[in-house]
Amino acid sequence: MVPSSSGRIPLHRALLSVYDTTGVVELARSLHRFSIELRATRGTLKVLEGAQLPARPAEELTGIGEWFGGRVKTLHPGLLGGILAPRTPEGTAELERHHLLPIDLVVVNFYPFGGRYAEDPRAPDLEEFIDIGGVTLARAAAKNHAGVAVLTSPEQYAAFADELDREAGGVTAATRRSLAAAAFERTHAYDRTIASGLSAPGRTSAEFPDRLVFVRDATTLRYGENPHQAAQPYVLAEPPNAPMVPVGLERLQGEPLSYTNLLDLDTTLGIVEEFPTPAAAVVKHATPTGVASGATIREALERAVATDPVARYGCAIAVNRPLTGGESESLKGVFVDLLAVPEITPEERDRLARRKKLKLLRVTPAPARPRWEARSSLGRLLVQQGDQRQLTPAELKLVTSRAATVEEIRALDFAWRVVRHAKSNAVVLARGSSTVGVGSGQPTRVKAVELACEVAGPRARGAVLASDAFFPFPDGVEAAARAGVTAILQPGGSLRDPEVIAAAEAHGIAMYLTGWRVFRH
């Protein structure tokens, strides 16, 4: 079909070949509503047939089925010719001469190499998660965007379906060009992930590459730190073995993300990754307001949101286990702006769909470790290793006559894992495996203590305290003692350590020094 002068083209035939089937049935229904012929590869075809949609096998256009265990199924002129043919009279004539059908829409996503690599970097089947056919289809459709549209992420489906409704089954040239750019960004990032995963380690974690090249990420942000500021994320392109592979994000519902959403998300995910047990983190303005670990995600969520009922308003939350079995009911009455999950059941998605303002994300951890961090200052890009150092029992130096109980030691370890993600100066109060008060971003440590104790209220009595850096004066310890804190974990290293320790001793507080700090600015 030759595009009109406005660049709009109607769609007559679509090829669907997806690994992640999220939203593909709903999209196919939208296509079918406009009598767009559906062609699908085997796995996608089963999903569409299960939804009673009249899809036909893609292999009818190739005649080869699947070769070599599925490695070759879409790499065929029967598909690629129909995608790449110019939408001109000459192109149409050549299609007819070769008995090929034009394909106007390609819907594709790729095998999850990054996810498999994260599970096991040495998995014997790792190479089977390198997508060839899907990437080729995406690139072919993107190249020929003058006459073909390409969708490479479920995030794009809703807006595309809306345009179909507005354009009576067609899409504009601007949309096709934008989708093509997104497709090339996605294939580029995918190739970089594979290159990073397959590259032999060439540098130690303390060595920095001489050259970094960043390319525009496919993620679109609504705005920057404030609505009047534009923002755009970039991902590392070179060198291929630099350990800065981005976390995978898939928006399941809600508006596009903002700059601050990504900052909050970085903090929430960093926190829940600290815990091997089910955990939930509540974050506002990129600092934790409530964190808990429990036997189940429901228990963790209930405890985390209970830490600070005021500060949690409009928060971001992440969990480190799939959301199932009505666990989202734990958030009843809590205004959540963003919720990040590794996986979620259809029932939970339906439940959360009632929250019209909620941004729901499915996240895939980055495969490469160690994690590096970057931020800008004075026209420079600052890059540092992520803080992944773990506190060991041997590093705890008892400096008071009273030792902590086993329960207090466990709570101190929990509080330390949280305080390293709060903004300096930072203090965290915890009981068991739940926070009860967080004080962060304060110019003085005593103010951080007072804020944490104020949030905790009566819950501070019997709680333990972790501090991200040393106490410069005994006033912070005295404030904690007045609130009823029984044990403190802090780096030490102040000139007034003897006075600080004496204050803890006077109030019967068990105090431990780690010897290293965890600042976060």
Cβ distance 364 to 243 under 8 Å? no
Catalytic residue list contains 145:
no
Peptide bond connecting 243 to the previous residue in cis, omega within 30 degrees of 0: no
Catalytic residue list contains 285:
yes
Helix (H, G, I), strand (E, B) or coil at 396: coil
268-277 pLDDT, tens digit per residue, is 999 998 998 9
Helix (H, G, I), strand (E, B) or coil at 78: helix
pLDDT at 199: 61
**49 is written with which tokens?**
């047939």
Q: How far apart are CA 283 and CA 431, in angstroms?
A: 19
- Name residue 337's amino acid: D
Which DSSP helix (H) or strand (E) runs through 160?
helix 157-166
DSSP for 228-288 reads TS----EEEEESTTSS-PPPEEEEEESSPP-HHHHHHHHHHHHHHTT-SS-EEEEEETTEE
Q: Cβ neighbours of residue 101 under 8 Å, at least 6 residues apart?
A: 13, 61, 82, 95
**447 is written with which tokens?**
């103010």
pLDDT at 464: 98
DSSP lists the bridge partners of residue 250 as: 362
Question: Chunked in runs of 10, what are the mean pLDDT values of the chain (521 residues)?
Answer: 60 91 92 92 91 89 74 79 87 86 92 77 82 91 93 90 87 91 86 70 50 77 83 71 65 91 92 92 94 94 93 93 90 93 92 92 68 80 79 90 95 95 95 95 96 96 96 96 97 94 97 92 86
pLDDT at 168: 84
Q: Cα 83 from chain centroid?
A: 32
Structural domains of the chain, ranges and CATH numbers in brackets: 9-198 (3.40.50.1380), 248-364 (3.40.140.20), 393-513 (3.40.140.20)
pTM of this prediction? 0.61
Count Cβ atoms within 10 A of the Cβ of residue 151 and give its class: 0-12 exposed, 13-18 middle, 19 or more buried: buried
Exactly one of 143, 145, 188, 332 is catalytic; name it. Answer: 143
Exactly one of 12, 32, 188, 285 is catalytic; name it. Answer: 285
Q: What is the dihedral of CA 23, 27, 28, 30, to 10 degrees?
A: 150
